[in-house]
Copies of this chain bind each other. A is one copy, B any other.
């Protein structure tokens, strides 16, 4: 596929969802010519005035993430907001996604003209997924979306990755007893700006209320962060079934975003995220070069045999390869 990049950029800027989908396909591509086009397209579209609220959303399987996004997203579009949903799912790298596809769980939202839903790409490594998602976020902003929801599953590295491309980070959890509370890692608690206890309806309502109180208590034990106004991070109950609590959750997100804007944290956080992304891009590019260098490839193949049979440790073999490389500054 060749792209008339100017036309694509122009159509994308008008908010055309098909142009947006095509542009995301371009940034997802592994082909070198597509990568060059993607870089050019992103440079054309760079416009700091087009800015969405980027909300990272995490929760382990079973907490009702898709149902939440369906209900929450529909509420935002009903207010006239344009909402994009992107996903970072490291487990889909291997098999191409969860047993149930996400889009089928967001039927209403996927038909909504103010919404745009894009499932996780099936890329081979988390680094690739990260780049594609960061660039897709930029494209959604250039297309004039007001809110970009970046969804991820559970604990681990994918959560950190999503937090690093979001303005706000929301952790969705299920109602549960004291045991579960102990199981939540401090690292995740400290990343969250808002903890939403889902399924606060029917039989589960009182359990959800208790769980939210438990988490609110736990959050108070953590060190106050400079980027938080009084009372944040908060733990609230929501129900994606009855819509209860969704408006309150949205108000809290807006209040937090406004406060951070007013106090300089918004700009500082985005600048820091951009800087980190830039460094990451340089690293990735460097690795791609190394893979193309014949001398390095030859040395690695030669040492690989001894590494494979266990007589030479990988660290010692790597030291030998690196010793034969030219200095980066040796021009």
Contact = CB atoms under 8 A, between A and B. Distances in A.
A290 interface: yes
B326 A330 contact: yes
A39 interface: yes
A190 to B, nearest CB: 6
A120 to B, nearest CB: 11
Contact of A48 (B38, B309, B319, B327): B309
Contacts of A182: 61-62, 99-100
* Copies of this chain held together in the complex: 2
A260 to B, nearest CB: 16
A251 to B, nearest CB: 27
Contacts of A284: 318
Contacts of A95: 185-187, 190
Interface string A169-185: 00000001001101111
Q: How large is the interface on A (under 10, 10 to 19, 20 to 34, 35 or more residues)?
A: 35 or more
A279 B299 CA distance: 11
B316 A186 contact: no
Interface in A279-296: 279-287, 289-290, 292-296
Interface in A74-107: 89-95, 97-100
Contact of A287 (B283, B314, B317): B283
Given A286-B286, A286-B287, A326-B328, A180 B313 contact: no
B285 A318 contact: yes
26 contacts: A39-B316, A42-B315, A46-B311, A47-B310, A60-B154, A60-B155, A61-B185, A62-B179, A62-B183, A90-B155, A90-B157, A90-B187, A95-B190, A98-B186, A156-B157, A156-B159, A271-B309, A272-B308, A275-B304, A278-B317, A280-B314, A281-B314, A282-B322, A285-B319, A326-B326, A326-B328
